[in-house]
Structure 1
Amino acid sequence: MDRISALRNVEEALSDFEAGDADLAATEQRVLTVLRTYATDFDGEEGLQAYQASGAGRAHGLVVVAESEAEARERIADLLDEEPASIAADISPV
């Protein structure tokens, strides 16, 4: 899914919400699905994959897109402003 398609899908979800055709929970799920699809479907971007942190600490549940688990750990550390070695979480493909 390219950026324009993702934006159109989010716009449609918001329009349905505003029109009363969808409730907040359904709209949130729809937008989350668009975002996950966009984040994990990079046309022409070989080697990128979504990784999720699980375990103890602030990293739990974070999802990033990277080429490897090591790069994913670095991206998560950057998001949390911590050292990669201090991230007390398992990093695995989604």
Structure 2
Amino acid sequence: MDRISALRNVEDALTEFEDGEIDLGSMEIRVRSILRTYATNFEERDAYKASGPPPVDGLIVVADSPHDARERIRSLVDDVDRFDVETVD
């Protein structure tokens, strides 16, 4: 998905929300899915979600491998020693 397609899909979701065709929760799920698809296709990488103590828990990054995901998370959050990462579908 290219940038223009992603923006159009987000615009479609916003329009459907404004027209009362979908609720807020549905719009959020759709937009999140659009953004995740764009990010992983653009980078040709996978999304990884961290689990562990705050502030790492729930953080999602795009990386080439679990190792790279851990390094990316460490670069974003200070003073974090132990956490796991798993691929996000």
TM-score by length of 2: 0.82
Partner of 2:84: 90
Quote how far apart the aligned CAs of 1:33 are. 1.2
RMSD: 1.8
Quote how far apart the aligned CAs of 1:56 are. 2.2
Q: Aligned partners of 2:16 and 2:81: how far apart in 1? A: 40
Q: How does 1:5-84 map to 2 (within 5 A)?
A: 5-42=5-42, 45=44, 48-80=45-77, 82-83=78-79
Equivalent position amino acid for 2:6 in 1? A
Residue-pair matches, total: 88
Equivalent position amino acid for 2:5 in 1? S
Q: Determine helix, strand or coil for the equivalent of 2:42.
A: coil
Partner of 1:2: 2
Equivalent position amino acid for 1:75 in 2? R
Equivalent position amino acid for 1:26 in 2? S
Q: Aligned partners of 1:63 and 1:12: how far apart in 2? A: 25
Structure 1 unaligned residues grouped into runs of 5+: none
